[in-house]
Amino acid sequence: MRMIGLAGWSGAGKTTLLVKVIPVLVGRGLRVSTLKHAHHAFDVDQPGKDSYEHRLAGASEVLIGSAGRWALMHELRDEPEPALPELLTRLSPVDLVIVEGYKRDRHPKLEVHRAAVGKPLLHPDDPAIVAVAADGALPQARVPVVSLDDIDAVVDILLAHAVPLEQAFATPTIATRVS
């Protein structure tokens, strides 16, 4: 299983790009999963539903199954937020996992940048950014830049820079010389 991330400021178009990229990857015969980071409280359940009531009553986990899908919800309660590497281990094996968000983590990432957002580029300060998908030219960029509209080029970059999970968070070793 290999992984790569999409990083960028809110409003840059990460999700918009991702929903265009996934069908191309699937069309190339890959099984793809995504992992999305949320910076705020979110709920995938609905008040009044049995599963919601089970969680509200104090269940640590609620698994819902049907003929079309299953979902597992885990309540953290007072536990700390799990780190990205831990969450990745919870996914079923696929060919490629694309992580949306987690821009401060050190896994390889494609930066998504829109000038209209008014935020600076992330890549000068993040050596894990391998390229930028942007809505215009970025002559100051020190990594390859592709158009947000060139989905095939974006897919090619994602595939070229995706790494196995065990390499994504490995700390590089620095060789030392003994005199």
Residue 86 falls inside a structural domain: yes
Region 45-67: what's the mean pLDDT?
88
Reported as a single tens digit per residue, the pLDDT across 86-125 is 999 999 999 999 999 898 899 999 999 999 999 999 999 9
Could you count the other beta carbons within 10 Å of the beta carbon of residue 179? Answer: 2
Has this prediction a pTM greater than 0.95?
A: no
pLDDT of residue 171: 57
Q: What is the mean pLDDT of the chain?
A: 90
Owning domain of residue 112: 2-41+81-168
CATH number for the domain spanning 7: value is: 3.40.50.300
Residue 10 falls inside a structural domain: yes
**What is the total count of domains within the chain?**
1
Judged by average pLDDT, the poorest of 25-34, 53-62, 115-124, 138-147 is: 53-62
Q: Please give the Cα distance from 162 to 107 (Å, whole number).
A: 9
Residue 41 or residue 66, greater confidence: 66
